[in-house]
Amino acid sequence: MVERTNQLIHLPDETVLHAWLFLPDGPGPHPTLTMAHGFGGTKYHGIEPIAQKLAEAGFAVSLHDHRGFGDSSGAPRHDIDPYQQIEDWRRVISHLQTLDAVDADRIGLWGSSYSGGHAFVLAATDRRIKAVYSQVPTVSGSETGRRRVPPHLTRQLEESFAADELAQAQGKPPATQAFVSDDRSTTASYRATDAIDFYLGHSAPEGLWENSVTVQSNRRFRAYDPGHWIDQITPTPLMMLIATGDTVAPTDLALRAYERALGPKELVLIPGGHFDPYLDGFQTSTDAAIRFFRTHLQAH
């Protein structure tokens, strides 16, 4: 029987991250996995069942919300800064190392989409992580951004970023836009039907997620290329799970990144798009992660 408790991680700037800690049966300390969602996601966006399965397999599992999202505090809300999220994640790892239930020498990291990119950076720069699993990862925000926004609209986009920066310098709050929308007259981060269904189909309590993101979150995305770090993850073991029809985190970029990774490494391919690892590919992706972490963290 897996036990789930709430954890609060206090950060130096008084932000408080909220995490669920799943503990497996049996005495600790346990090999432990730390998890977080991707771009704009929360604990309530299809990720809790994965954490539950990993805990049932014998791991302690920490699943936290990024600052400004879900149950975590932080202002402005729905503002995404990848490097801030990475530094916060280091604090989560430090918090876990203080817990009696956690084996501080057997910590693995699970990331998906945007946090799959964070996983590259963290694994390459923090040797407390002993194994890293990254599914449908963001590899290059700059290249992905160029594919999403046609060249004739790029100048207009850059002007909107600059206008928001100027407005904030004049004391105005950060500008926001829709997170997902199929209305072409509405500026949105995602327009694909699978993204709209995934994000709007969440089960978050009222007030913990809204269809909104700061404009500057998108500027930071376009400047974030975590795939740069992939050849520096070695000797930490890496598993990448890639969807063959991914257009959100393009398949070809992920495959090229995997080619640059050094060993030990393992590649798992699943059919479908970006959100299939949570949906039709749930069993495949979760089984792969369990097998990988058992191999490298020696869960029993």
For 262-295, what is each residue's pLDDT tens digit? 999 999 999 999 999 999 999 999 999 999 999 9
pLDDT score of 299 more than 80: no
Residue type, 172: K
Share of the chain above pLDDT 90, in %: 92
CATH entry, 3-148+225-297, from 3.40.50.300, 3.40.50.1820, 3.90.550.10, 3.30.460.10: 3.40.50.1820
Q: What pLDDT, on a 0 to 100 scale, did the predictor assign at position 92? A: 98
* Residue 187 CA from chain centroid, whole number: 23
Structure tokens at 123: 């694994």
Query: How high is the pLDDT of residue 185?
Result: 87
pLDDT in tens, 230-270: 999 999 999 999 999 999 999 999 999 999 999 999 999 99
23, 55 contact by CB (below 8 A): yes
User: Among 164, 166, 92, 161, which Cα is nearest to 128's?
Assistant: 92
Mean pLDDT for 99-107 is: 97
pTM exceeds cut of 0.85: yes
Residue 194 host element (H or E) = helix 193-200
Look up residue 232 and give its DSSP letter.
G
Cα gap 66→148, rounded to integer Å: 25
Q: Which residues are CB-neighbours of 170 under 8 A, at least 6 positions away?
A: none
The span from the CA of 205 to the CA of 38, in Å, is 19
* Distance separating alpha carbons of residues 35 and 145, to the nearest angstrom: 25
Domain chopping of the chain, boundaries: 3-148+225-297
Based on the number of CB atoms within 10 Å of its own CB, is 4 exposed (0-12), middle (13-18) or buried (19 or more)? middle
Among residues of the chain, what percentage have pLDDT more than 70? 99
Burial group, residue 245, by CB count within 10 angstroms (0-12, 13-18, 19+): exposed
Q: In the Cβ-directed half-sphere of 193, how many Cα atoms lie within 13 Å?
A: 0
Outline where DSSP puts E strands in the chain: 3-10, 16-23, 30-36, 60-64, 102-112, 129-135, 176-180, 188-190, 213-214, 238-243, 265-270
pLDDT of 184: 87
Burial classification of residue 295, based on how many CB atoms lie within 10 Å of its CB (0-12 exposed, 13-18 middle, 19 or more buried): middle
**How many Cα atoms sit within 13 Å of 151 on the Cβ side?**
0
Q: How many helices (H) and strands (E) does the chain have?
A: 9, 11
pLDDT in tens, 175-209: 999 999 999 889 999 998 999 999 998 888 988 99
